[in-house]
Copies of this chain bind each other. A is one copy, B any other.
Amino acid sequence: PLSAEMSDDWQPRDAVLPPAPDRTEHEVEIRVTETELEVAPGVRQSVWTFGGDVPGPVLRGKVGDVFTVTFVNDGTMGHGIDFHASSLAPDEPMRTINPGERLTYRFRAEKAGAWVYHCSTSPMLQHIGNGMYGAVIIDPPDLEPVDREYLLVQGELYLGEPGSADQVARMRAGEPDAWVFNGVAAGYAHAPLTAEVGERVRIWVVAAGPTSGTSFHIVGAQFDTVYKEGAYLVRRGDAGGAQALDLAVAQGGFVETVFPEAGSYPFVDHDMRHAENGARGFFTITE
């Protein structure tokens, strides 16, 4: 089924990560909606979303920037939001709000990193497992320029009626029906990411879970830069390189590579169960 075609009207989620806007104050509105999305070729699924898509909108800024998020619940049940990028008492900003309510969540980004956000309402296993997650990228001050930047948020897919006994049982067993990058199983196998030979490409990766991490790998490429959870592990000039970025649930980071020649380079979570069941895509590299 994952090798079937996506529907004609399917639009791939744009994985390009735009640079941080040139300002230090960010104002964002995030509306919860419960909707339906094509989450695998020909498979539509009811999802709970931040802003109508899975993952939710990407926020990006620099250390010291202030984010003012207007969070609105246009759904049918209580939801909340938890930004790992923030350092604050959860009590008020992360509280559950009812349908029709809104709250303002204001935070200053104290630390660089690739931070998860997700619904803060219990049971979080279900809220995250039904699509309520996203990423906030806070650039390290020394972040070197690259030619392209992508963001891949890895998540899990549990088919069926959200909150049904059957769906929840699979969540509780840690047995997703599929693993997804940016919300779609094998989505970027149908709509490959692109770059040119010799370009330096940075791929930000965030593992949203709710129950599995990732071992992110690009077939044919080596990572000469690895940044994980706020720290550089490998840098450009080093003799060593990495084949996989290992992230536990709720961790994030980035890798960099330069694709050496034209061709088609698969990327995967190298846990082969995850890859076979959706955690895969392609880079199409041209001259």
Complex Cα spacing A276 to B262, Å: 46
Q: Which residues of A contact B (CB under 8 A)?
A: 63, 82, 84, 86-92, 94, 110-113, 115-116, 120, 123-125, 128-129, 140-142, 171-172, 174, 209-215, 217, 219-224, 226-227, 229-231, 233-234, 238-244, 246-252, 259-266, 270-273, 275-276, 285
Contacts of A113 in B (CB 8 A): 240-243
Question: Which residue among A84, A94, A230, A272 has the maximum number of chain B CB atoms within 10 Å of its CB?
Answer: A272
Let me know if A249 and B244 touch, CB within 8 A.
yes
Let me know if A124 and B276 touch, CB within 8 A.
yes
Contacts of A120 in B (CB 8 A): 219
Let me know if A94 and B241 touch, CB within 8 A.
no
One complex includes copies of this chain to the number of 3
Contacts of A116 in B (CB 8 A): 243
Contacts of A221 in B (CB 8 A): 87
Let me know if B229 and A89 touch, CB within 8 A.
no
Let me know if A229 and B244 touch, CB within 8 A.
yes
* Other contacts beyond A63-B239, A249-B272: 18, CB < 8 A: A87-B222, A87-B260, A88-B261, A89-B261, A89-B265, A90-B265, A110-B222, A210-B271, A210-B272, A211-B271, A213-B215, A214-B248, A226-B231, A230-B242, A231-B234, A244-B249, A246-B248, A248-B270
